[in-house]
Amino acid sequence: MIMSKATALFRTATSELEVGPAPRVVGTLSALPPHCKLAGDIVEVRLDKMAPSADWLKQCAALQSGGTPVLLTVRLRSEGGDWENDDERRLEIYKEGLRELAAVDVELSSVISGPVAREAARLNKASVISFHDFQKTPPLRDLCEIVEKEHALGSIAKVSTMIKHGSDVDVLRALLRRRWEKPICVIGMGRAWSKTRIEFAMLGSCLTYGYLDKPTAPGQMSAAELVRRLRFPAKRKENAAE
């Protein structure tokens, strides 16, 4: 396993979780309150997937009080989410969340990526700056430029692209093998390539995402399955041999 020396901290009121030295499993939640068993190191709350609720922050804080850091995401529709309202309101939501929660995820292409990242830094919280391409995997040079821009803004650079051919996997592997000053998360989308969610974590992707209640991306497996495959590989091999 390749472990990055770069580190980001997901801070809660009672703990700090290092992200970077070893892969962390993010369990994605699409509804509040959760009606499923939580699995993984971090809970991602996809607020864009939920009906508006006046107590969403209270429920998120309650989740985090159990010891698992909460990563707040309000994803734009243009990058695979359901958020269509104005960015002014989305910025307010991120600022509200950062007062209580450990981290946020905002798209590099968004006009609010800078303000969100600066607010996170001011409050000593982590920010994931993300890029998504649901059609293809861009060339390595383009992806390197994207990662550099993401690292200039936030704590973690996230790149999620569609894999159509084995050559796309090679590009994403090469991206992970570069030496970066901050942690990087690389995700390959596509049902036929779900195994890369394990492989990339083993190659140095600081985060790998699985669903808690329902998938939010093509080829996404459950967070519980990711935990089993990453934390108990010997047991998995034994079961396969039986």
Does residue 120 surpass a pLDDT of 90? yes
Known catalytic residue at 158: yes
Gap between the Cα atoms of 189 and 198, Å rounded = 12
Catalytic residue among 125, 132, 151, 182: 132
Catalytic residue among 49, 125, 151, 158: 158
The string over 176-196, giving b where at least 16 C-beta atoms fall within 10 Å of a residue's C-beta and e elsewhere, is beeebebbbbbbbbbeebbeb
Which DSSP category does 7 fall into?
-
181-201: per-residue pLDDT in tens?
999 999 999 989 999 999 999
pLDDT for residue 48: 95
Gap between the Cα atoms of 178 and 120, Å rounded = 26
Gap between the Cα atoms of 214 and 224, Å rounded = 12
Known catalytic residue at 95: no
Angular region, 124: left φ>0, alpha ψ -120 to 50, beta rest: left
DSSP track, 81-128: S-B-S-HHHHHHHHHHHHTTSSEEEEETTSTTHHHHHHHHHHTT-EEE
71-80: per-residue pLDDT in tens?
999 999 988 8
Listed residue (209, 228, 230, 206) closest to 220, CA to CA = 209
Mean per-residue pLDDT of the chain: 91
The CATH architecture to which 10-227 belongs is: Alpha-Beta Barrel (3.20)
User: Percent of the chain having pLDDT more than 70?
Assistant: 94
211-242: per-residue pLDDT in tens?
999 888 777 899 999 999 998 765 544 444 43
Cβ pair 76, 58 in contact under 8 A: no
Q: Is the peptide bond before 69 cis (omega within 30 degrees of 0)?
A: no
Which DSSP category does 195 fall into?
T
Whether this model's pTM surpasses 0.85: yes
Least confident of 1-15, 55-69, 162-176: 1-15
When computed from its CA atoms, the radius of gyration of the chain, rounded to whole angstroms, is 17
